[in-house]
Amino acid sequence: MKKKELVRLLALEDFTPIYQQADEVRKREKGDIVNIRAIIEFSNICGRKCRYCGLNSTNKKAVRYRMSPKEILDTAKQAVDAGYQTIVLQSGEDPCFHKETLGHIVKSIKAMGVAVTLSCGELTFDELEHLRKCGANRYLLKHETADPELYRELHPCGTLAERVDCLRNISKLGYETGSGFMIGLPGQTLETIAEDLLLLKELNCQMVGIGPFIPHPDTPLAKEKEGSPGLTKRAVALTRLLLPQANLPVTTALGVINQQEKENAFGCGANVIMKKVTPSPYKEAYEIYPANLEKTNIVKDRKLLEDQIRALGRTPL
């Protein structure tokens, strides 16, 4: 699909036929299985200044933390025992988790017999290569917006070219490469979203996270409007058509705005869901955007999510 066609589809009054097409492709390529990933947010310390993110280094109100390797591995073990087959390690760009420390953690989790996904920001080729050799399977690095000017405005600490170069390195090293973007960023247009979708296609992303923008009260974008859940779902559906075999999560942000929209997203192409297993109170402190979070109970939370997925006619895995 060309940019003009994507813009036309995004603006359709009735998107139902596209949702149905995306769901058919999802069923053909992925079946009715929903893969549940356990996400451990092991550090909210970040050197970046992204203007939309509650973890940005200029937010002095954020309560910072850094889990110890033992805490991370203990949490991972509990998640594996509860049935999770993938552990996602997510953090801000924390310089204290150098490649040797993170590599040891990856090796230890891999020894538990599960896959490991990393989402730790932009790393050097050497760092990415080391972590890949330690056994990391996937790497998620959202490009956030394919508009260079908008990227520069929102990210005073980096450029879109640097972000895309890092994504290309991730792909070169044999990771299952993941990217994604937000819907509703100030200054975003349907043309911008179309460019986002085409960049995902160009990078041949194997996993894609698309969620609505949610303003954080302690950031420069505090007074901006939330992104549209409906437009988010449309973007997910078009991604399924552009990248039929990709793993597409229902993002946490979509559920924060509207739980019903989160459930409905499984009907427009999504096949993955991330579940926070981050220990309390760390979970509450990992506040990219505001959310009401209950205390972590890994076993109970997993069972509840499995029941919800079965109620939607899908099989949890």
pLDDT digits (tens, 9 = 90+) for 39-73: 999 999 999 999 999 999 999 999 999 999 999 99
pLDDT of residue 81: 98
Would you say 21 and 241 are in contact if contact means Cβ atoms under 8 Å apart?
yes
pLDDT digits (tens, 9 = 90+) for 273-294: 999 999 998 998 998 888 778 8
Q: Which residues of the chain have pLDDT under 50?
A: 254-257
Query: pTM (2 decimals)?
Result: 0.93
Q: What is the pLDDT of residues 15-28, one digit of tens each?
A: 999 999 999 999 99
Domain coordinates in residue numbering, the chain: 3-306
| DSSP code per residue over 23-78 | HHHHHHHHTTEEEEEEEEEEE-------TT-TTSTT-TTS---B--HHHHHHHHHH
Average pLDDT, the chain: 93
Nearest to 15 by CA among 253, 261, 269, 231: 231
**3-306 maps to which CATH number?**
3.20.20.70
Q: What is the dihedral of CA 185, 191, 197, 198, to 10 degrees?
A: -140
Rounded to 10°, the helix 229-242/190-203 angle is 30
40 in Cβ contact with 90 (< 8 Å): yes
